[in-house]
Amino acid sequence: MSTATEQIEKLANTEYKYGFVTDVEQDIAPQGLNEDIVRLISSKKGEPAWLLEWRLRAFRAWLKMDEPKWQNVQYDPIDYQGTSYYAAPKEKKKLNSLDEVDPEIRATFDKLGIPIEEQKLLSNVAVDAVFDSVSVATTFRSKLAELGIIFCSFSEAVKDHPELVKEYLGSVVPHTDNYFAALNSAVFSDGSFVYIPKGVRCPMELSTYFRINAQNTGQFERTLIIADEGASVSYLEGCTAPKRDEHQLHAAVVELIAHTDATIKYSTVQNWYPGDKHGKGGIFNFVTKRGICKGDRSKITWTQVETGSAVTWKYPSCILQGHDSVGEFYSVAVTNNFQQADTGTKMIHLGRNTRSTIVSKGISAGRGQNTYRGAVKIGKNASNARNYSQCDSLLIGDRCGAHTFPYLEIKNTTAKVEHEASTSKIGEDQIFYCESRGIAKEDAINMIVNGFCKEVFRELPMEFAVEAQKLLGISLEGSVG
Amino acid sequence: MLLEVKNLKVRVEDKEILKGIDLTVKSGQVHAIMGPNGSGKSTFARALSGHPGYEITDGQVLYNGRDLLDMDPDERAREGVFMAFQYPVEIPGVNNAYFLKAALNAKRKHQGLDELDAMDFMKVVKEKLKVLHIDDSMLQRSVNEGFSGGEKKRNEIFHMAVLEPVLALLDETDSGLDIDALRVVSEGVNAMRSPERSFVVVTHYQRLLNYIVPDFVHVLSEGRIVRSGGKELALELEEKGYVGQAVGARK
């Protein structure tokens, strides 16, 4: 085995540092899934009848669906009846302010570097912290409310803004969309809700931090972001989970709606527990994310850095309905040890002069398997649509794999579609070159990998880009010898 | 004594390339290693720099009295050994200035000096660029990416100028250079000659030695030094060729 490969392996075997468990009294639903559980979740959250009906419709649809098998990943069958679909820290009393958040939970977020006390916030970021099934804190709400911006947990949105939730929920990802979206629609427990009113540019980054803590539970959150005419918002999402030997299911749904001249930038740094170096445990991250550029000149940008999870399966997509609307997808996906990722995007061009850009960077190390799967569809009315796709794969070591599946469906002859793809191996020569300048091997690998991901990282908000670079270093730590 | 090489034997993929090299380099000296293709001259430079593909099977190398072969390649570099590559590799997406700053600061840290911030670093760099007649734009490009052959070699000399090594190994730095580029590169090297700095210059052609005038010339053949002499030896080789320099010399 080459020395570079040995070092990659050594780096890769570094401990997952977010793997601790918080000891907090939990209110957990019994394991298993049936209509009673769906009703239980809905009643726990005090939901209106229409929402319960919607959940039940989704549940009945789910029962008739089969788990998809076409993705290029392998995993043990999921025991849907062995999972609990609701876990919440027991509230001792109603929270009136952030200061009343359970100290254990607050300590958890502190340990994760996510400050939920506003005075501790250094950067201009408002945070919604989701602990297992519920949102435990949302910061800067009053400041945002002055501008008419709604940023709250999904449950609160259902109570306080039912008309918005009713109008938009399921409008981009229908409750029957796919197996995991249907499951989420039936049992989702919380998530974040954002509404930016007409003409308002959100003055700070909005951020949700998801933490799975309880054992044998799944996390099924739902995020709904609406940018009204001329509005703009940048939203960040981060996630971690304790180390557990069992796999845990995370099946989220994210819906974005951009009206005329609106802009939504959605950035994810996904660092769910990836399992140990032998492939034991880790999160199944089966997520449906889709945005619609509903109005003319609207724009949606997805940026994701996927370093965690045992299996990642997601395609943040854009429906470009408005004329001159723009969809972008920038992705870095890292798979190390036994991690698998099948990720990419769908760009569906419906309006005239719509443009989309796809930049995907896949990094495989150890025995990791990385698949890019992307679809570009140009509808018959989408005159002068443009797409540019670039998929690059970087292999570290010789036991990993990279796969690319681009799909094109073009029904308008004026379309221009470009696709570029490359696969390269991190060379011992590159590493040696850095070493010969005095740069230590681990720093060299970090530098080479970060260089490879540059086009994606520069799309991330500043604080996040720094975080993502560090995370990438940690994910590949030990992967080169 | 800066460098003492004793009976160095090196194997590459089961083939013994160097069969016992002895060489002594004092501070401030310039030694040229010449020889035909396949004689092992590049192997010699790469082995000294610690390239993982070159297995040392016997011998000893002392650098400032310390065992050089015991150090990792990055440690050798931080201790002042520099390698100018024959084929510098490209590192896409890594800005040349950023790369060099990381290298310089790794070395400074090793020496117990404060790391330079971006401002101070740029001051150092701009000065070197000026001396070497290199355009500022080279700083913002990715390391060697899309560089012409000549640009790559100039970038190597630029790295050398910034890192200020104690021992510089130049591996066929002249290959692929036209006469103008050769002059620029050589001037860069000559500007750096000092009593505290030594050079081991590996080259196939005498041409380079018209510009970088060596103190000693060694002829390598079949993995051994078969002749050593002053700078006039290079001229003799130019005239007569490598044939007949040693028993068993190729061709």
- Confidence band, pLDDT 50/70/90 cuts, at residue A369: confident
- Confidence band, pLDDT 50/70/90 cuts, at residue A17: low
Q: With contact defined as beta carbons under 8 Å apart, do A356 and A328 qualify?
A: yes
Q: Tell me whether B80 touches chain A (CB under 8 Å).
A: no
Rounded Cα distance, A213 and A244, in Å: 10
Q: Would A454 be classed as within a structural domain? A: no
Q: With contact defined as beta carbons under 8 Å apart, do A452 and A468 qualify?
A: no
Q: With contact defined as beta carbons under 8 Å apart, do A323 and A354 qualify?
A: yes
Asked if A454's CB is within 8 angstroms of B163's CB, the reply is no
DSSP state letters, A2-57: -HHHHHHHHHHTSPPTT-------EEEPPSS-SHHHHHHHHHHTT--HHHHHHHHH
**Residues 6 or more apart in contact with residue A2 via CB below 8 angstroms:** A428, B52
Q: Residue B176 has what pLDDT?
A: 80
Asked if B72's CB is within 8 angstroms of A428's CB, the reply is no
Comparing alpha-carbon positions, the chain B residue that sits nearest to A433 is B89
Q: Would A251 be classed as within a structural domain? A: yes
**Burial per residue of A446-470, b for 16 or more beta-carbon CB atoms within 10 angstroms, e otherwise:** bbbbbbbbeebbebbbeebbebbbe
Q: Would A480 be classed as within a structural domain? A: no
Judging contacts by C-beta atoms under 8 Å, the chain B residues touching residue A447 are 91, 94, 99, 102
Q: What is the pLDDT of residues A305-357, one digit of tens each?
A: 888 778 888 899 999 999 999 999 999 888 887 888 888 999 999 999 999 99
Asked if B77's CB is within 8 angstroms of A436's CB, the reply is yes
B222: β partners: none
Give how far A396 is from chain B: nearest CA, Å: 15
Q: Tell me whether A453 touches chain B (CB under 8 Å).
A: yes
Please give the share of chain A, as a percent, with pLDDT higher than 70. Answer: 76
Q: Give, for A342, the enclosing helix (H) or strand (E).
A: strand A340-349
Rounded Cα distance, A123 and B58, in Å: 58
pLDDT at B234 over 60: yes
Q: Would A364 be classed as within a structural domain? A: yes
Q: Residue A29 has what pLDDT?
A: 72
- Confidence band, pLDDT 50/70/90 cuts, at residue B178: confident
Q: With contact defined as beta carbons under 8 Å apart, do A187 and A37 qualify?
A: yes
Q: Residue A125 has what pLDDT?
A: 54
Domains of chain B in start order, with CATH, are 3-240 (3.40.50.300)
Q: Which of B78, B88, B94 sits opposite A438 (nearest CB)?
A: B78
Q: Which of B49, B92, B102 sits opposite A436 (nearest CB)?
A: B49
Please write down the HEC assignment for all residues of A294-320: CCCCCEEEEEEEECCCCEEEECCEEEE
Q: Would A481 be classed as within a structural domain? A: no
Q: Tell me whether B82 touches chain A (CB under 8 Å).
A: yes
Task: Give the tokens for residue B70.
Answer: 């015991």
Judging contacts by C-beta atoms under 8 Å, the chain A residues touching residue B94 are 447-448, 450-451
Task: Give the tokens for residue A117.
Answer: 């006390």
Find the mean pLDDT for residues A440-450. 88
DSSP A190: B
Helix axes A462-476, A441-452, angle to 10 degrees: 130
Could you give the residue ranges of the DSSP H alpha helices within A77-216?
A: 103-111, 141-145, 154-160, 162-168, 179-187
A398: β partners: none
Q: Residue A85 has what pLDDT?
A: 78
Q: Residue B76 has what pLDDT?
A: 96
Q: Which of A438, A451, A453 sits opposite B74 (nearest CB)?
A: A438
Task: Give the tokens for residue B207.
Answer: 């041409």
Rounded Cα distance, A347 and A345, in Å: 7
> Taking the alpha carbons of B131, B135, B141, B143 in that order, is the dihedral positive or negative?
negative
DSSP state letters, A132-166: TTEEEEE-SHHHHHTTT-EEEEHHHHHHH-HHHHH
Find the mean pLDDT for residues B169-176. 89
Q: Tell me whether B111 touches chain A (CB under 8 Å).
A: no
Q: With contact defined as beta carbons under 8 Å apart, do A11 and B60 qualify?
A: no
Rounded Cα distance, A141 and A151, in Å: 6
User: Average pLDDT over chain A, rounded to whole?
Assistant: 81
DSSP A435: H
Other beta carbons within 10 Å of A186: 26
Give how far B188 is from chain A: nearest CA, Å: 18
Q: Residue A322 has what pLDDT?
A: 97
Q: Which of B82, B92, B106 sits opposite A440 (nearest CB)?
A: B106
What's the number of domains chain A is made of?
Answer: 1
Residue matched to tokens 């994760």: A112
Of the two residues A237 and A392, the one the predictor is more confident about is: A392
Q: Tell me whether A455 touches chain B (CB under 8 Å).
A: yes
- Confidence band, pLDDT 50/70/90 cuts, at residue B174: confident
Please write down the HEC assignment for all residues of A396-456: CCCCCEEEEEEEEEECCCCCEEEEEEEEEECCHHHHHHHHCCCCCHHHHHHHHHHHHCHHH
Q: Tell me whether A432 touches chain B (CB under 8 Å).
A: yes
Find the mean pLDDT for residues A15-29. 62
Q: Residue A101 has what pLDDT?
A: 61
Residue matched to tokens 């001249």: A261
Give how far A428 is from chain B: nearest CA, Å: 8
Asked if B74's CB is within 8 angstroms of A436's CB, the reply is yes
CA B221 to centroid of chain Cα atoms: 19
DSSP A117: S
Q: Residue A24 has what pLDDT?
A: 59
CA-based diameter of chain A, in Å? 68
Q: Among A157, A138, A145, A137, which residue's Cα sits nearest to residue A197?
A: A145
Task: Give the tokens for residue A163.
Answer: 């008309």
- Confidence band, pLDDT 50/70/90 cuts, at residue A74: confident
Q: Residue A121 has what pLDDT?
A: 42
Highest mean pLDDT among A49-53, A79-83, A402-406, B245-249: A49-53
Q: What is the pLDDT of residues A262-296, one digit of tens each?
A: 999 998 887 777 777 777 777 888 899 999 999 99
Judging contacts by C-beta atoms under 8 Å, the chain A residues touching residue B113 are none
Find the mean pLDDT for residues B58-85. 96
Whether ipTM > 0.90 holds is yes
Find the mean pLDDT for residues B185-194. 91
Judging contacts by C-beta atoms under 8 Å, the chain B residues touching residue A437 are 77, 99-100, 103, 106, 159, 163
Comparing alpha-carbon positions, the chain A residue that sits nearest to B94 is A451
- At residue A9's C-alpha, the angle toward residues A7 and A13, to 5°, is 115
Q: What is the pLDDT of residues A107-157, one digit of tens each?
A: 666 665 555 554 444 344 566 666 655 555 666 777 788 999 998 888 889
**Residues 6 or more apart in contact with residue A158 via CB below 8 angstroms:** A45, A47, A48, A51, A165
Q: How far is CA A7 from CA A336, A365, B237, in A?
A: 13, 11, 45
**Residues 6 or more apart in contact with residue A390 via CB below 8 angstroms:** A358, A359, A360, A419, A420, A421, A455
Q: Tell me whether B163 touches chain A (CB under 8 Å).
A: yes
Rounded Cα distance, A378 and A355, in Å: 10
Asked if B52's CB is within 8 angstroms of A436's CB, the reply is no
Find the mean pLDDT for residues B152-159. 93
Q: What is the pLDDT of residues A182-206, one digit of tens each?
A: 999 999 988 889 999 999 999 888 8
Other beta carbons within 10 Å of B4: 17
Find the mean pLDDT for residues A222-245. 82
Comparing alpha-carbon positions, the chain B residue that sits nearest to A435 is B74
Q: Tell me whether A2 touches chain B (CB under 8 Å).
A: yes
Give how far B58 is from chain A: nearest CA, Å: 21
Q: What is the pLDDT of residues A145-186, one digit of tens each?
A: 899 999 888 888 999 999 999 999 999 999 999 999 999 999
Other beta carbons within 10 Å of A29: 21
Q: Would A463 be classed as within a structural domain? A: no
Q: Would A441 be classed as within a structural domain? A: no
pLDDT at B43 over 90: yes
Task: Give the tokens for residue B187.
Answer: 């001037």
Residue ranges making up the domain that contains A177: 18-427
Q: With contact defined as beta carbons under 8 Å apart, do A310 and A284 qualify?
A: yes
CA dihedral angle for residue B197, residue B198, residue B202, residue B207, rounded to 10 degrees = 80
Judging contacts by C-beta atoms under 8 Å, the chain A residues touching residue B91 are 430, 433-434, 447-448, 451
Rounded Cα distance, A211 and A219, in Å: 9
Q: Would A216 be classed as within a structural domain? A: yes
Rounded Cα distance, A15 and A475, in Å: 9
Give how far A438 is from chain B: nearest CA, Å: 4
Q: With contact defined as beta carbons under 8 Å apart, do A247 and A282 qualify?
A: yes
Q: Residue A153 has what pLDDT?
A: 85
Residues of chain B by 3-state class (helix, strand, coil), percent to 5: 40, 30, 35
Asked if B91's CB is within 8 angstroms of A448's CB, the reply is yes
Q: Tell me whether B55 touches chain A (CB under 8 Å).
A: no
User: Average pLDDT over chain B, rounded to whole?
Assistant: 90
